[in-house]
């Protein structure tokens, strides 16, 4: 049997495109064959596929010179249609239904929208439809857009309580240096409790938006929530069945999932930092208590400052005495009330441990 029942598979632009940027249909069809096999044998798969912008770029010659935002809007509108049509046809050859889910970061900002999105994917899976997700690049143009589809896939893995997230790129995994350098090696196993970001190459990929460092950061966060993350080469033959089959050797990077999976609400909070409405600054003593071994809530006595205006149940950032964000949490009272509580004794938490995520 396969190692995971429910798995999110993210396919990067560089896996789906040839060197000249055109859509690599042979690769795409081979990946669909692999997914179809897993699906037939009972795995629940959600696909997060990039490649819209790249597919559109070769379809259309713009009349005038376009700024970055307009170019992305035009190419993604045309390219997404092309991409999903190809997927639809390839899956249909296997007698499998797939459906398109386009989303934006902003539309996942409230708990209600988040749960609506979760429900949509749930009903698709229940009916054996493979969701194919992408960011809606035609409207996600502000600062509130996903850094890349790695971020989107991490959020979906957490949302859907997946057992694993497989990120397919055009290299074998995360390297301990520049992959172009012969001495650099794939880091085979990563313990998400250790921060090794200093060893990872910060450069971006050729056609996609992401890079190795963002992959690493997202993967680490997701693994700490109890989900195994695998970064592997989508151009390796039969990669998906190989990764899904127990005791099979294949070069890739695996992030060991934390033994204590986070609750649904904690996972939502962990991926909601960009929706923070304000900041709560805390003293060194409170920071030590929060980041210690024992589960601790944030009490008024540890608060030194409150920035911004927020309502009860909003997400806020928690900032330590070095001015560094150490986490996010859902507040139990609004900013006005929190200001009145600064430094006061009392056991009623401003952020309860169950609604707290520490980086």
Measure Cα distances from 251 to 4, 97, 186, 233, 350 in Å.
Answer: 18, 31, 8, 8, 46
- Pairing type for strands 189-190 and 253-255 reads parallel
Supply the minimum distance, in Å, between the C-beta of residue 65 and ligand GLU.
20
Q: What is the DSSP letter of 203?
A: P
Helix (H, G, I), strand (E, B) or coil at 260: coil
Instruction: For residue 176, give every residue at least 6 positions away whose Cβ sits within 8 Å of its Cβ, in sequence order, or none.
Output: 184, 185, 187, 199, 200
Give the nearer residue to ligand GLU in terms of CB position, either 30 or 50: 50
CB burial readout 89-109, b (16+ within 10 A) else e: ebbeeeebebbbbbbbbbbbe
Supply the minimum distance, in Å, between the C-beta of residue 139 and ligand GLU.
12
Contact between residue 158 and residue 224 where contact means Cβ atoms under 8 Å apart: no
The string of DSSP letters for 118-166 reads HHHHHHHHHTT-EEEEEE-TTT--STTS-SSHHHHHHHHHHHTT-SEEE
Supply the minimum distance, in Å, between the C-beta of residue 205 and ligand GLU.
7
Count how many residues are written for the chain: 359
Give the nearer residue to ligand GLU in terms of CB position, either 78 or 280: 78
Supply the minimum distance, in Å, between the C-beta of residue 262 and ligand GLU.
24
Give the nearer residue to ligand GLU in terms of CB position, either 210 or 278: 210
Phi-psi label, residue 214: left if phi above 0, alpha if psi -120 to 50, beta otherwise: alpha
Contact between residue 169 and residue 15 where contact means Cβ atoms under 8 Å apart: yes
Supply the minimum distance, in Å, between the C-beta of residue 23 and ligand GLU.
11
Q: Give the separation between CA 94 and CA 157, rounded to whole angstroms.
A: 25
Q: What is the DSSP letter of 211?
A: B
Give the nearer residue to ligand GLU in terms of CB position, either 209 or 224: 209
Supply the minimum distance, in Å, between the C-beta of residue 171 and ligand GLU.
15
Q: What is the DSSP letter of 17?
A: B
Give the nearer residue to ligand GLU in terms of CB position, either 218 or 316: 218
Supply the minimum distance, in Å, between the C-beta of residue 246 and ligand GLU.
30
The string of DSSP letters for 265-314 reads HHHHHHT-GGG--EEEEE-HHHHHHHHSSS--PBPGGGEEEEES---TT-
Give the nearer residue to ligand GLU in terms of CB position, either 54 or 227: 54
Helix (H, G, I), strand (E, B) or coil at 9: strand
Can you give the binding site for ligand GLU, defined by CB under 6 A? 13, 50-54, 76, 134-135, 137, 148-149, 208-210
Give the nearer residue to ligand GLU in terms of CB position, either 46 or 54: 54
Alpha-carbon dihedral sign for residues 242, 243, 245, 246: positive
Give the nearer residue to ligand GLU in terms of CB position, either 274 or 332: 274
Give the nearer residue to ligand GLU in terms of CB position, either 134 or 335: 134
Supply the minimum distance, in Å, between the C-beta of residue 101 and ligand GLU.
13
Give the nearer residue to ligand GLU in terms of CB position, either 132 or 290: 132
Supply the minimum distance, in Å, between the C-beta of residue 188 and ligand GLU.
24
Supply the minimum distance, in Å, between the C-beta of residue 134 and ligand GLU.
5
């Amino acid at each position: 049997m396969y190692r995971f029942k429910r798995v999110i598979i993210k396919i990067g632009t560089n896996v789906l495109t040839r060197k000249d940027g055109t859509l690599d249909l042979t690769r795409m069809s081979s990946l669909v064959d692999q997914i179809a096999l897993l699906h037939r044998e009972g795995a629940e798969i959600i696909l997060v596929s990039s490649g819209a912008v790249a597919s559109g770029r070769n379809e259309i010659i713009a009349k005038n010179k376009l700024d970055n935002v307009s170019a992305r809007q035009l190419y993604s509108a045309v390219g997404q249609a092309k991409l999903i049509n190809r997927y639809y046809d390839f899956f249909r050859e296997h007698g499998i239904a797939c459906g398109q889910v386009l989303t934006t970061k902003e539309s996942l900002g409230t708990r209600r929208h988040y749960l609506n999105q979760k429900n949509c994917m749930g009903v698709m899976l229940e009916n054996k439809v493979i969701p194919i997700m992408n960011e809606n690049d035609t409207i996600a143009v502000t600062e509130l857009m996903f850094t890349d589809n790695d971020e989107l896939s991490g959020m979906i893995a957490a949302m859907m309580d997946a057992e694993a997230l497989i990120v397919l790129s055009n290299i074998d995994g995360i390297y301990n240096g520049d992959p172009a350098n012969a001495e650099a090696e794939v880091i085979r196993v990563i313990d998400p409790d250790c921060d090794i970001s200093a060893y990872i190459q910060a450069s971006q990929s050729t056609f996609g938006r992401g890079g190795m460092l963002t992959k690493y950061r997202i993967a680490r966060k997701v693994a700490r929530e109890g989900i195994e993350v695998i970064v592997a080469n989508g151009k390796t033959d039969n990669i998906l069945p190989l990764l899904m089959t127990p005791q099979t050797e294949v070069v890739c990077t695996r992030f060991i999932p934390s033994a204590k999976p986070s609750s649904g609400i904690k996972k939502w909070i962990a991926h909601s930092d960009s929706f923070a409405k304000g900041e709560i600054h805390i003293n060194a003593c409170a920071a030590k208590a929060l980041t210690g071994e024992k589960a601790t809530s944030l009490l008024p006595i540890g608060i030194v400052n409150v920035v911004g205006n927020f309502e009860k149940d909003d997400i806020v950032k928690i900032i330590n005495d070095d001015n560094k964000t150490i986490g996010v949490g859902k507040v139990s009272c609004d900013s006005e009330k929190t200001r009145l509580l600064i430094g006061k004794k009392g056991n009623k938490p401003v952020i309860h441990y169950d609604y707290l995520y520490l980086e």
